[in-house]
Structure formats: C-alpha cells, structure tokens
Chains A and B, each alone.
Chain A
C-alpha cells in the first residue's frame, strides 16, 4: 500500500509561476484524474481562478509521488502541510502496517480446528485465531471488509452468541476449502449481523424457548429482512453476496426454510454454513452439550425438534472431517 498521488494545497498555483512537475486535478465524485498544469508551463490567471472553483466544488489537486521532492523544493510548502492533506491515506497505511507488525510479532503455533473444537476453551482459541488471521487482511479491498475488521476488533473481546456463530461459520468455511479472504470476511460479517433484526421483534417473543410460538411469529420469521433494513440504515456499503447470505441463512434444502422457502439450487452454499453454525451453537447452549456432539447430529443426519439437518449434502459429507482429529 503506497500513496501514488499526493493531495496538495493550491497555495502555490499563482499566475506567472511555472514548475518542473505536472499538477493533476482529481474529481472525487467521478474518481477521474486529469493533467491540470503541464510541466514548464506558465500558470495563467484563468487557471488560478479555475483552481479555486474546483477546490470549492470538492476536487483535489495532486502531484505524483516521484515529483514530491521537486514540489517541496520549488513551492516551499512543508512536508507537514502535505501530510495534513493526505491524513486519511496516511492513517490507513499506518494502520495496515501496524496490523502487519502485530501479526509478525505474535507468531502463533499451528492452529488445527479439529483439535481446538474438542477442547474446553474452544471459542476463546477460535476468537484469538480469527483476530490473528484478520491482521493480514487488506484494508483497501472494500468498505464492507473494513467494517467487518473493525467489528471484530470491538466484539471479539467477549463471547456472545453472534461471535460464536461467526467463529464457527468462519472455520467451517475454511475447512470446506474456502481460501478467498474477501469471501471469508463476508461470511464473518454476515455471521455477526444476521440477527440484528431481532431489535424490531418484541422481547417477549424472543425470550420464549424454541417452540411453535417463536417459529410461528411472522415478525420472527422475517427477521432477515429486518436485519437488512438496519444495515441499510447504518450506511455500510454491503455487497450483494453478503445480503444474500443474510437473507438465506434460515433456508433449507427441502424448501421448508424461511423467509422465502428457497430450495438448494437457488440458495447460496455459504448460507448453509451460517445455518449450520447457528443450529450447532443454539443446540449446544440449549442442551448443554459440546459442539462436537451437535455436529455429530448433522453427520448422522438426525433431525430433532431443535435441529433441522436439511442442509447442503456436500456440507454434510465434509462435516465428519471437521470433528475427526487428523492423525
């Protein structure tokens, strides 16, 4: 990550001046850059006035990083002033470098999920591992991933149900063969925020145990819609894939899921991972059993009142590898 074009103040653009470097004009809205002043060309009065107009409209004047030294030399503008104009970029680069440094300083031992899931502090280890792995995630890929990384920083300090759901879905996806960091980030983000729509549901309905009343409540069944409503209000730029994951995280293969009753061919495969993770966590917390036992129900395909094993068959096949410790 490196700054290619430095935003600069327009104090140096005076009539009659000429410089050995080109000055670029960057339109923030259209995200386009053009040459405003060519090297060794005199700045005219019209150009000076136009520059003022452009700045008032929100455009940035920039110079290429290769001309930074010449710019400081010829214009007399200090490095601090240039850094102030590029504060956001510099902060972003600093944060990224700090994260990488932190990751390098804390060299972790090899993490084997099959061993961790059998341990008592399984969620704690999972949280730490996820926090460690996310340090190497790029900060310039998407705003969604940045939001996810900041959420993880704030939420993974304590164990909550959404955090558990997110942890298990992350590692299931990884063991399933998913390596794309952006996709893993989406699954993590969806696992954290998929049920925030419960804020619109009456607390009395939510406090009821897993029964017909809860499942029959129309608002409860539509909570994916409500979650997306809240996300839209938050102002986060969410990808279509993430929205799909959130919408379909209660869908089942046989079409008996909610809210739309989609079948397998129309459902995103990663949404079954979220579904599986939520059911495993709920079952283990409700029944007081371990995660491994909850996963074994899916492996043996034993549906109960609290568990519906109608998830993707490919996922069920690979679940056994999730709980068997490699020799």
Chain B
C-alpha cells in the first residue's frame, strides 16, 4: 500500500474547500495544507507520490517553476481548479511546466474524488508489479545457480570470493553464497514493466521521446529581427543618407568673412544647424544687416579648419607632437585671412553696431509680431533650412543670429587680447606616428628642458606633473659601479709562494714573513708554538727581547692548551688591545698555535676573518715533521 498524499495550496476556492473537507474524512489520505511556497518545496521533495491541488493561477505558475524537478516526476500530479477556462497559450505553458490537469469549478465533487482515487490506484498497481518482477528475477538467479552445479563446500568456504588459495580454476564462475554476502534486494522504484510488456515498444518510445521546453527568451530570440531602420538613421555612416525634410547641412562661414565689409554674404546659418527663435517666432531683418552679416555655412567650416587649436599637454596621448612656438605676428596672420585688414578696432566697432541693432530689434518687437505671423508659414522654415541659392534667404535675418555673431566676435576679441601678451605658448598639434602606432611615450626630459630654458610655459599643475615625471625618468640613468681598489692581501701569498719555490731550509723565515704581513696590516706581534703530544714548544716570537712577554709566557702556554678553536680574548672587539689564538690542526690533531698580541682596538668581525686568512699561510709549515 502506498501513501496517498494530497497537498492543498492556499487560497482555496469553493470546490477546493469542499474537496478538502471530503478528503479529510478519509483516513487513507495524508493531507498537507501549504500556505507559503517555500513549504511546498520542502514537502514535494520528500513525498514519493502526491497530488497537488491549487486554485490560484499565479501560485501554480510559481510553484511549478520553482519545484520543476520534483513536479515533473510521474508520481507527482498537479491539478488546477479554476472558475473558467484559461487561455490556450497559458495552458500550454503550464503544461510544459508540469501541470497535469485544469479542472473547472463546475465539476462534481464525486468525479473529482474518483479521479484522485484512480490516480492512486494506478500507482499502487505499478508498485506491486515491480515487486513481483523483482521476485521473479531472484528466482531466475537461484535456478541458474543450482543448474551450474557449484559445490556447497566451495560456497561455504571461509575465504569466499577473496580467498585466492581456494579459488576454482574456472575463474569465470563466481559463486555467491549465503555465507559470503549479506546483500538484500530492495524495491527498485524504476519502472521496468516494459521488459515483458507487449507494449514495450511504445514504452521505449515514450522514454526515448524528448520534448525540449523552449524558454520564453528563446522564443524572443527566434522572432528577433535586426532593426535595420535604426541603422539608416545613424548620421555617422557616410554611406547612408542623412537628409531630414528640407534641411541641408551647410558649412560654417569663416571668421574673416564675418568681419569682411562690403562682401556679398548670403544668409546667416547657425553652426549647429538648428533654428533659433525668440519667443517661438521669427524676427525679421533689415536689408543692411543682411549684407554685412549674412554668411554661408561654408565660411564657418573654413574658420573651424584654419583657426589654431590650443591644447594642453596631455599624458599618454598617442602620436608625435609638433610643438610650435608661434609669435604674435604669426597669430595675427593666422587669425586674419589675406586680403582683409580687420583689426581690433574694427571688431569693436562691429560689435557695437551689432549690439545696437539687436536693441533696436528688441524694442520694435511688438510691431514685429504681426509680421511674424507671415513667417510661421513654410517659407519661414525655408529661410533657415533651404539652399543658399534661394532668394528669400538673402533678406532674412534673425536677432538671435545677431546675438550669436556678437558672442563670436567678443570671443575673437578676447583671443586677440590674449595674443597680445608677451608670453608664448606651446601649441601641440597631434599627429599620428605611423611607425610606432597609436601609443608613443612623451619625452618628458625634452619637454622639461624646453620648460627650463623658458621656451615653453605651462600651467602650474601641468608643470608639476612634468617635473615629477622627469624625476622618475631620471632614475633610469645608469651610474658606474663602485669597486674597491684592493688586493685583499693576496700579494703576500704570491710572495710567500715565491719564497717556498726557492726552497728554504730555515722555516723561521716563513714565520717572519707572516709576522711582516700581519704587522703591516694590523700592527700586531706574533708568537708561534708547536705541539707534539702534550709538549708545546716555542717556534717563533716576534718580540723576543720583551721582558714582559717572558713573564707572560707561561700564561699564554696555559691558554693555548685550553684552546681548540680560533678564539679572541674579547669577543665583542671593544678592548683597546685584543688577543687572538689560532690553532693549526690536521686530521683532528692539533699541531700548534699562533698567538697574535696587541691587536689594535676597534677590530671588527670582518677584520677577524682577515687574521685567520693571514695566519692560514703557515699551515704548510706546521704540517712539516721536522719543523723544529
């Protein structure tokens, strides 16, 4: 008997409430009432077979999506009870999510109960079938074992499968006996009814059929079309036409054309291409003004090309920089086109004229409003958007246009004033360096030199930046390596070698040479002893005539007897006169001692190493058998 689990998801409709009351009277059913969908997720994963009843469409959608892995299991049925039919597209969606059935409220309670009972009966039957099948397989296995003729002894042997000593020669036969394994067959939930089912072909097909569920996003992707119409609107693609109705881009008139008097100018166009209206209405112009201030867009573009750009030095900007130090006269020439003689004074007068015109226009605004009505017609738009060749443009001028020209001219005036300053400025023009590519490092040292020499002048922050960069760049300058001009005492060894090569018989010369080297370097006295067994004999004493030393001779002898390794009297090297005892040993046997006396104060550990180095010169002498 299987568990009959029913899960009711709140809120309940009338039919669901009735069903709940009916089912609660039956003890066979296990009822779960779920309010939050989190709880549902916890329950559904645990239950083996269940029916979920829901009345809320939204909640159904959510729980089907969230618990999709569990919901789609065959033993889990999902029912939605609704007042009316739901749209087909929604139904298909829910079915693909795992919804089994949508039941209307009109259905009778008995029919609903029958459905539930029927579902659980089918499940019960399939489970019993499975258990029977498992039993059959067990019987088949036992029959097979009996027919193979395996001995009971071998089966009941203590070693079992892993007893290699008692294994049968036919290794293919593996005996499984009761004594060896404690394996118990458990009920397998896998539906293997198709194995001996006459409809197994259909079952296999069902298992094999895979219906992928398309995501909503995928559907959108399939219906996705490139917005080609948007591409045509891109104004930056040269291949595309950019021509709004009646509008044509015109070049900005040149500054000198603005300044020129008596020249025939066409209508004034805005550099941005957008019309400007005062109070939403076009203002008329006078013929006089037209002649002086009507300009074409072409003139403006020329102005933009020819005026020098002044940029600050930037960091990491690519390309080579052409630095020009331009004088005032050059600037004026650049500002002014050949053939025109406009100066600062001319600009001032023009600005005043323009300002006066604007004032007059503003004052006469109410009268002009009547005339503006005429301008609202299409002709008005033609004034600003039509070609230069139209005759109407010549007569039209706008006060706002006058303002723009005025602003422009004040800017030019300021430029000229700036140019009149004595300082020169660096003008950096960017040019792409084709050899190196886009990125090129600035030579800060070069820039800094120009800055130092006064040829260039930058603002304070930029100058500081360049100084800092230059300081960092200077680190890369390589300096020569510093070495000591020192022989490290090797010359004494070379000379000592020379003495050895000559074949001296008196070894006291060798001791004397060693004392000579030590005294020259460290101003110390040397005493050498030999040791043969317990007997210590004096070999060499650099201050033999010193009476003090004779008194201390026994003192040093006792010290040497106790010494087995090189030792300093003052290990901290703070004493004014230090002493050093250096034993000579061979194969673990001490052959003698060298004692350095009166070592000048301030000896450091590094100097102590030098002492050992010099004294090791006498090693060969101590190895001599007949040293005495």
Contacts and interface: CB of A to CB of B under 8 A. Distances in A.
B500 A146 contact: no
B90 interface: no
A150 B486 contact: yes
Contacts of B489: 234
B33 to A, nearest CB: 70
A176 interface: no
B494 A155 contact: yes
Interface stretch (B110-118, B142-150, B292-300, B472-480): B472-480
A139 to B, nearest CB: 7
B487 interface: yes
A133 B65 CA distance: 93
A33 B613 CA distance: 36
A199 B497 contact: yes
B493 interface: yes
Contact of B500 (A149, A199, A230): A199
Given A40-B467, A146-B486, A202-B620, A196 B497 contact: yes
Contacts, number: 145
B493 A203 contact: no
Contacts of A139: 483, 485
B617 A199 contact: yes
A203 B621 contact: yes
Interface string B589-628: 0000000000000000000010011001111110110100
A151 interface: yes
Among A150, A199, A206, A234: residue with most chain B CB under 10 A: A199
Given A22-B471, A154-B487, A1 B503 contact: no
Interface residues of A, number: 53
Nearest to A40: B464
A244 B296 CA distance: 87
Nearest to A161: B501
B500 A203 contact: yes
Given A143-B484, A199-B619, A160 B495 contact: yes
A147 B471 contact: no
Contacts of B475: 24, 33-35
Contacts of B503: 203, 206-207
A193 B487 CA distance: 11
Contacts of A143: 483-484
B482 A92 contact: yes
A140 B489 CA distance: 21
Contacts of B626: 204
Interface string A186-208: 00000011011011111110110
Classify chain B: how many residues form its interface, as a range: 35 or more
B488 A147 contact: yes
A235 B474 contact: no
Nearest to B618: A199
A80 to B, nearest CB: 20
B458 interface: no
B23 interface: no
Among A88, A142, A202: residue with most chain B CB under 10 A: A202
B247 interface: no
B510 interface: yes
Interface stretch (A2-10, A108-116, A316-324): A2-10
A151 B494 contact: yes
Contacts of B464: 39-40
B209 interface: no
A146 B504 contact: no
B507 interface: yes
A182 interface: no
A39 B479 contact: no
Among B475, B487, B488, B496: residue with most chain A CB under 10 A: B487
Give chain B's interface secondary structure class. helix
B485 A236 contact: no
A206 B620 CA distance: 10
Nearest to A20: B467
B126 interface: no
Given A39-B467, A40-B464, A22 B497 contact: no
Interface string B138-171: 0000000000000000000000000000000000
Contacts of B510: 203
B472 A196 contact: no
A63 B10 CA distance: 83
Given A39-B467, A147-B486, A161-B501, A203 B620 contact: yes
Contacts of A40: 464, 467
B490 A3 contact: no
A224 interface: no
Interface in A109-147: 139-143, 146-147
A234 B624 CA distance: 24
Contacts of B481: 140-141
B498 A198 contact: no
B483 A203 contact: no
A95 interface: yes
B326 to A, nearest CB: 28
Contacts of A185: none
B184 interface: no
A2 B500 CA distance: 44
Interface of A: 1-5, 22, 24, 33-35, 38-40, 64, 66, 88-89, 92, 95, 139-143, 146-147, 149-151, 154-155, 160-162, 192-193, 195-196, 198-204, 206-207, 230-231, 233-236
9 contacts: A22-B468, A33-B475, A38-B467, A39-B464, A151-B491, A155-B495, A193-B490, A203-B510, A233-B612
The 5 closest A-B pairs by CB, nearest first: A22-B471, A207-B503, A140-B480, A196-B493, A150-B487
Given A3-B479, A39-B467, A206-B500, 6 more contacts: A143-B484, A151-B487, A161-B497, A203-B510, A230-B493, A234-B490
